[in-house]
Amino acid sequence: MLLRVVKAREEHREAPGDATQAGPNGVLAVRRAMPLAVRWPIGVAFLTVRPAAGKLISKGARGMEQKIPFTSYDFWAYLSAGFVVLAAVDYVSSAHLLYRDTWTVVQGVMAMVCAYTAGQMVASLASFLYEKLLVSRLLGAPRMVLFGQPKAWRVVRWAVPGFFEPLPLATQRAVLERAAPVGIDGPGEGLFWCAFAYARGTPSVMGRLENFLNLYGFARNVSLAAFVDALLLYWHYRWNKGNDLALALARAALLVGVGMLLRYLKFYRQYALEVFTSYAHSPKESAKPAEGAKP
């Protein structure tokens, strides 16, 4: 049957009027000059090898995707914030390293490396300023806020009510009852690790936690990057002979910084909320503390 198909294709290509399909390289003419005994094995080999070649190409493409060095968190948390800072530095210095019409491969690679490095530095500073100082010491960590134990002043709780909303009392009791057999009787870091141990063993919960991790990492880093941009642009306007556009950009960056800070608080709380609610309403089983992110 396969030989009949090959023979029919060869006869069709030899029909009058098909000579216009030869192309500039004369590939079809060369094939027609071959003896039929030679062309048939070539046709059979082509029909046999083409599907396997397609599978190899598809497999190679999937392999290349798996070898991409950047994870989703790298993109959301590092590269984006790094490019935000580099764009402001490039604008203030008038170096025009990023604002260009054409890019070479080397320039693109170097821009990615610089943005990733800058993003790492922004992330380290943002983690210290936002998580260690702002949240843990001034507002209260979500692992405590969700159980009705915030640190912030009343006016701050009034300004950002969503962050300070506690868990329902029934959910709080369910979480504490689940953790009681392992000796945990109150909210805190130990209770969070106990609940997170269950989350690590549940793929559906970990999938949602990874989404929240990407979101709050992106919002936190971009917020700080926007504040840095606002300072740079205002300095450029005030002391470096900048124009009114620099002042407008500084104000816009300040608004972006505040907005992304609020988004960070939302998703940072949502991360801990997902950990505790999934633990409270999961089938009861003993859980051991595990390592992971700590809101």
pLDDT in tens, 115-144: 999 999 999 999 999 999 999 999 999 999
Paired tokens of 113 = 């490396």
Paired tokens of 216 = 């709050």
Spell out the residues 6+ positions from residue 213 whose beta carbon is closer than 8 angstroms to its own: 73, 271, 293
Cβ proximity of 214 and 76 under 8 Å: yes
Cα 132 to Cα 124: distance, rounded to the nearest angstrom: 11
Cα 271 to Cα 278: distance, rounded to the nearest angstrom: 11
Phi and psi based region of residue 41 (left: phi greater than 0; alpha: psi -120 to 50; beta: remaining):
alpha
pLDDT over threshold 50, residue 74: yes
Using pLDDT thresholds of 50, 70 and 90, give the confidence band for residue 72: confident
Cα 124 to Cα 38: distance, rounded to the nearest angstrom: 67
pLDDT over threshold 80, residue 287: no
- The pLDDT, as a whole number, for residue 282 is 76
Of 68-72, 93-97, 244-248, highest mean pLDDT: 244-248
Would the CA dihedral through 38, 43, 46, 49 be positive or negative? negative
Using pLDDT thresholds of 50, 70 and 90, give the confidence band for residue 61: very low
pTM: 0.72
Cβ proximity of 240 and 89 under 8 Å: no
pLDDT digits (tens, 9 = 90+) for 142-171: 999 999 999 999 999 999 999 999 999 999
Using pLDDT thresholds of 50, 70 and 90, give the confidence band for residue 23: very low
- The pLDDT, as a whole number, for residue 117 is 94
Would the CA dihedral through 250, 223, 107, 65 be positive or negative? negative
The end-to-end CA distance of the chain, in Å, is 66
Would the CA dihedral through 285, 288, 291, 295 be positive or negative? positive
Cα 167 to Cα 164: distance, rounded to the nearest angstrom: 10
- The pLDDT, as a whole number, for residue 294 is 52
Please name the helix (run of DSSP H) or strand (run of DSSP E) that holds residue 137, with its range, or none: none
Mean pLDDT of 25-31: 47
Cβ proximity of 86 and 114 under 8 Å: yes
- The pLDDT, as a whole number, for residue 30 is 44
- The pLDDT, as a whole number, for residue 157 is 94
Paired tokens of 112 = 């990615």
Q: What is the mean pLDDT of the chain?
A: 80
